[in-house]
Structure 1
Amino acid sequence: MTVWWTVAGAFLLGALGTEMARSYALRRGVLDVPGTRSSHTRPVPRGGGIALVAASTVALVVLWLSGRLPGWLAAAWTAPLAVALVGWIDDHRHLSPALRLAVHLGAAAWLLFSIPVQPPGWAGWLFGVLGGAWVVNLYNFMDGIDGLAAAEAIFVCLAAGWLMDDQTRALSGLTWAVAGACAGFLPFNLPPARIFMGDVGSAFLGAVLVTLALAAQASDALPLATWLVLGAVFWVDATYTLAVRLLRGQRVWQPHRGHAYQILARRWGGHGRVTMAVLLYDALWLLPLAVWSEGDPHRGYWAVVMAAGPVLLLCLWSGAGRRPHDARAAV
Structure 2
Amino acid sequence: MAVWSLAEWAIVAAVALVLAASCTHFSIAYALHRQLLDQPGQRRSHQVPTPRGGGIGIVVGALFVIALFAAQSESSIRALALSVMAAVVVVGMVGWIDDHGGLRARTRLAAHCLAALVLLATPAVLIGLSDPITGRGALLMYTLAAVFPGLAIVWSINLHNFMDGIDGLLALQAMFVLGTLAWICLLTGYPGQAGCIGACAIAAGGFLPFNFPRARIFMGDVGSGVLGLLVAIAVLWQMATPGIALASGIVLCSAFVTDATCTLLSRMLRGRRWYSAHREHLYQWLVRCGFSHARVVALYMGWNLLIVLPAVYWMNRMARTGASIVDGPTTNRFGPAVAVYALACTVWWLGKRWCLRNVTTRSRHAAA
| TM-score (ref. length: structure 2) | 0.82
1:299 alignment counterpart: 332
Is structure 2 residue 129 aligned with structure 1 residue 107? no
CA distance in 2, matches of 1:266, 1:128: 35
SS in 2 for 1:24: helix
SS in 2 for 1:77: helix
Q: What does residue range 7-156 of structure 1 map to in structure 2 within 5 Å?
A: 7-67=13-73, 70-115=78-123, 124-156=145-177
Q: CA deviation at 1:193?
A: 0.6
**Given the alignment, which residue of 184, 196, 215 partners 1:163?**
184
Q: In the alignment, is the contact (CA less than 8 A) between 1:115 and 1:215 conserved in 2? A: no
Q: In the alignment, is the contact (CA less than 8 A) between 2:53 and 2:220 conserved in 1? A: yes
Q: CA deviation at 1:138?
A: 0.3
Q: What does residue range 235-254 of structure 1 map to in structure 2 within 5 Å?
A: 235-254=257-276
Q: In the alignment, is the contact (CA less than 8 A) between 1:73 and 1:115 conserved in 2? A: no
Q: CA deviation at 1:223?
A: 5.0
CA distance in 1, matches of 2:246, 2:96: 29
CA distance in 2, matches of 1:19, 1:191: 16
CA distance in 1, matches of 2:21, 2:257: 27
Q: CA deviation at 1:63?
A: 2.3
CA distance in 1, matches of 2:245, 2:96: 31
CA distance in 1, matches of 2:291, 2:238: 39
Gaps of 5+ in 1: none
Q: In the alignment, is the contact (CA less than 8 A) between 1:236 and 1:308 conserved in 2? A: yes
CA distance in 2, matches of 1:63, 1:129: 23
Q: Judge which range, 168-177 or 148-157, deviates more.
A: 168-177
Q: CA deviation at 1:246?
A: 1.1
Is structure 2 residue 247 aligned with structure 1 residue 225? yes
Identity rate of aligned residues, in percent?
36
SS in 1 for 2:148: helix
CA distance in 2, matches of 1:195, 1:47: 7
Q: CA deviation at 1:56?
A: 0.8
CA distance in 1, matches of 2:230, 2:244: 15
CA distance in 1, matches of 2:181, 2:214: 29
Q: Judge which range, 7-16 or 126-135, deviates more.
A: 126-135
1:66-104 CA-to-partner distances (Å, cap 9, x unmatched) read: 337533222233112211110000000100000111111
CA distance in 1, matches of 2:251, 2:25: 33
Q: Judge which range, 123-132 or 199-208, deviates more.
A: 123-132
CA distance in 2, matches of 1:189, 1:221: 36
Q: Judge which range, 278-287 or 213-222, deviates more.
A: 213-222
Q: What does residue range 160-309 of structure 1 map to in structure 2 within 5 Å?
A: 160-164=181-185, 166-220=188-242, 222=244, 224-294=246-316, 295=319, 298-309=331-342
1:263-289 CA-to-partner distances (Å, cap 9, x unmatched) read: 112224311001011112111210111
Is structure 2 residue 9 aligned with structure 1 residue 3? yes
Q: In the alignment, is the contact (CA less than 8 A) between 1:18 and 1:188 conserved in 2? A: yes
CA distance in 1, matches of 2:207, 2:153: 25
CA distance in 2, matches of 1:135, 1:326: 31
CA distance in 1, matches of 2:160, 2:191: 26
Q: In the alignment, is the contact (CA less than 8 A) between 1:48 and 1:201 conserved in 2? A: yes
Letter in 1 for 2:154: A
1:114-169 CA-to-partner distances (Å, cap 9, x unmatched) read: 35799977764333222221111000000011100000011111111001154321
Larger Rg: 2
Q: Judge which range, 220-229 or 87-96, deviates more.
A: 220-229
Q: CA deviation at 1:39?
A: 0.7
Q: CA deviation at 1:247?
A: 1.4
The count of residues paired between Structure 1 and Structure 2 equals 328
Q: CA deviation at 1:326?
A: 9.0
What's the C-alpha RMSD, in Å, of the aligned pairs?
A: 2.6
Gaps of 5+ in 2: 1-6, 128-137, 323-328
Letter in 1 for 2:55: G
- Residues 66 and 78 (structure 1), Cα distance of their counterparts in 2 relative to 1, 3 Å cut: same
- Residues 46 and 224 (structure 1), Cα distance of their counterparts in 2 relative to 1, 3 Å cut: farther
